[in-house]
């Protein structure tokens, strides 16, 4: 009896301690949790002060504190997730902002190898392919792990997270498809970058005159003859679903002769838009928005270089290892040749171009293209550069891995297996524009809408899981970009 009473006292002391520590500086609960390394604490506290003054109760905790004091978790991501879950259970937090890059606050790698498609039906590879290089597309890097707080992502304890029932002997071994909290990331690699991103969030002002102003770049997303999954017609579909008669928009497409490098840069710098969506072929250093101009660039390569570079951009059927080699080569060649290419010949928007933007009004950018959000790359990816430059985006939604969808299949088959990352982006935009939700709510609830449409396949089909887990939000999830819904700020 005495032992039992002692245990109860100990548990009560621990609970009170947790409640005291979890409380906000003002002694009340809070809605936004900012997690940051100690070296970024000054910048994070400055953002928290702004949020608290704007009536969004906010608290900051360091990665080091979580690592040292969280009793549960085999690695740092699991400790962070456990801490977030406790805050959610005790105080009902809504938003989590990871203020730091992957090296400080790691994302979670989930196992999601590509699948083959036989007559439009997804087929598992008999021998999943493993590669040691950093572009291994069998593992998708995601922050969703921190949003879904109750699923067992590694049920069989083999340290391979997110395996579906196709790849493990215990059934489903992955996260759920509903977010408990809305998570975003400010992907800072240094203090100056975080300081600039915080400054942009603090100074961001949704304007009534810019309400729902949308720009879409509808570049060809592949070279197939099926128009139903062509980037041009997909952009038209986005416009039809999102931009009603009272919503101003601009649609540019190289198919119509209205989209090239100069036009794209002009729109990015115009300051006219709250939301810019880019459809195209991607790589860490940029996104292809002009396929015809790419041919000029392609003509400068040697035969071996052409084989590898074209395999990435879909000219040849290729396995994942060849595509990865092509990506590395193409990325390297673009960086070395960019200064020698005239503006009217440039096929891509690159990190170098974004670094020179001079947009007086930051915008939100959704990039429907592979790898532009690869925040574990050796160099900053396009999404990182967009949000860490002064006169550029305040937030970016982009893919961390090479993403795809079934090619050259019928509309009926496309509906059966899902349109992957291109379709998922549509639901995010509808939430963001038509329902005027915060970035975090639109991002996660939009993906949930996609799940509802394909409930029977989402847990096993690789390209659908890539759409869910591969997209990450680089920005403040509590931010509203349109003037009617500014209370979350």
Residues 113-168: tens digit of each pLDDT: 766 544 445 455 444 443 333 346 678 899 999 999 998 888 888 888 888 777 77
Phi and psi at residue 71, to the nearest 5°: -80, -10
DSSP calls for 320-383: HHHHHHHHHHHHHHHHHHGGGS-GGG--EEEHHHHTT---SS--EEEEESTTTT-TTSSS--HH
| Most confident segment among 16-20, 110-114, 421-425, 477-481 | 477-481
- The structure tokens listed for 445 are 């609830």
Report the pLDDT value the prediction gives residue 248, as an integer from 0 to 100.
Answer: 76
197-233 pLDDT tens trace:
999 999 887 765 445 477 888 775 544 444 334 566 6
356-370 pLDDT tens trace:
888 777 889 999 888
Res 324 pLDDT > 80: no
CA 270 to chain centre: 24
Res 451 pLDDT > 60: yes
Distance between first and last Cα of the chain: 52
- 67-71, 120-124, 180-184, 364-368: which has the minimum mean pLDDT? 120-124
Residue percentage of the chain with pLDDT more than 90: 27
Report the pLDDT value the prediction gives residue 210, as an integer from 0 to 100.
Answer: 47
Question: What number of other Cβ atoms are within 10 A of residue 15's Cβ?
Answer: 11
Parallel/antiparallel/unpaired status of strands 286-288 and 275-279:
unpaired
Task: Considering only residues 396 and 303, tell me which one the structure prediction assigns the higher pLDDT.
Answer: 396
Residue 64 CB-half CA count within 13 A = 5
Considering the four listed CATH numbers 3.50.50.60, 3.40.50.620, 3.40.50.1460, 3.40.50.300, the one that applies to the domain covering 207-298+334-471 is 3.40.50.1460
Task: Considering only residues 385 and 115, tell me which one the structure prediction assigns the higher pLDDT.
Answer: 385
Phi and psi at residue 317, to the nearest 5°: -70, 135
Record the pTM.
Answer: 0.84
């Amino acid at each position: 009896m005495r032992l039992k009473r002692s245990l109860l006292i100990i548990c009560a002391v621990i609970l009170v301690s947790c409640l005291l520590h979890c409380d906000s500086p003002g002694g009340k609960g809070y809605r936004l949790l900012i997690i940051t390394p100690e070296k970024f604490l000054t910048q994070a506290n400055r953002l928290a002060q702004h949020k608290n003054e704007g009536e969004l109760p906010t608290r900051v905790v360091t990665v080091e504190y979580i690592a040292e004091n969280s009793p549960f978790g085999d690695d740092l991501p699991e400790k962070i997730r456990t801490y977030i879950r406790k805050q959610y259970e005790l105080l009902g937090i809504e938003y989590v902002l990871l203020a730091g890059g992957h090296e400080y606050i790691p994302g979670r790698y989930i196992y999601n190898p590509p699948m083959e498609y036989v007559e439009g039906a997804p087929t598992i590879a008999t021998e999943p392919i493993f590669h040691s290089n950093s572009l291994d597309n069998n593992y998708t890097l995601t922050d969703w792990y921190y949003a879904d707080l109750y699923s067992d992502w590694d049920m069989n304890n083999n340290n391979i997270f997110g395996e579906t029932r196709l790849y493990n002997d215990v059934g489903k071994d992955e996260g759920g498809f509903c977010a408990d909290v809305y998570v975003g990331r400010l992907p800072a690699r240094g203090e100056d970058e975080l300081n600039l991103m915080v400054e942009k969030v603090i100074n961001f002002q949704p304007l009534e005159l810019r309400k729902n102003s949308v720009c879409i770049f509808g570049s060809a997303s592949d070279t197939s003859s099926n128009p139903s999954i062509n980037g041009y017609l997909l952009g038209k579909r986005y416009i039809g679903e999102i931009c009603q008669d009272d919503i101003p928009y601009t649609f540019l497409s190289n198919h119509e002769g209205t989209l090239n490098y100069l036009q794209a840069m002009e729109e990015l710098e115009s300051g006219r838009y709250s939301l810019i969506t880019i459809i195209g072929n991607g790589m860490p250093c940029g996104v292809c928005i002009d396929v015809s101009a790419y041919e000029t660039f392609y003509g400068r390569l040697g035969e071996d270089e052409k084989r590898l570079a074209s395999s990435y951009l879909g000219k040849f059927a290729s396995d994942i290892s060849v595509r990865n080699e092509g990506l590395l080569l193409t990325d390297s060649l673009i960086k070395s040749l960019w200064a020698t290419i005239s503006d009217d010949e440039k096929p891509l928007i690159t990190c170098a171009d974004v670094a020179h933007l001079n947009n007086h009004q930051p915008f939100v950018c959704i990039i429907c293209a592979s790898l532009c959000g690869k925040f574990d790359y050796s160099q900053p990816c396009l999404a990182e550069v967009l949000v860490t430059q002064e006169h550029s985006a305040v937030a970016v939604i982009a893919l961390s891995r090479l993403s795809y969808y079934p090619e050259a299949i019928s509309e009926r088959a496309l509906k059966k297996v899902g349109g992957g990352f291109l379709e998922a982006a549509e639901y995010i935009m509808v939430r963001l524009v038509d329902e005027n939700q915060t970035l975090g709510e639109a991002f996660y609830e939009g993906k949930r809408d996609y799940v509802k449409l394909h409930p029977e396949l989402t847990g096993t089909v690789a390209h659908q899981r890539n759409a869910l887990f591969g997209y990450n939000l680089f920005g403040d999830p509590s931010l509203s970009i349109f003037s009617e819904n500014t209370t979350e700020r």
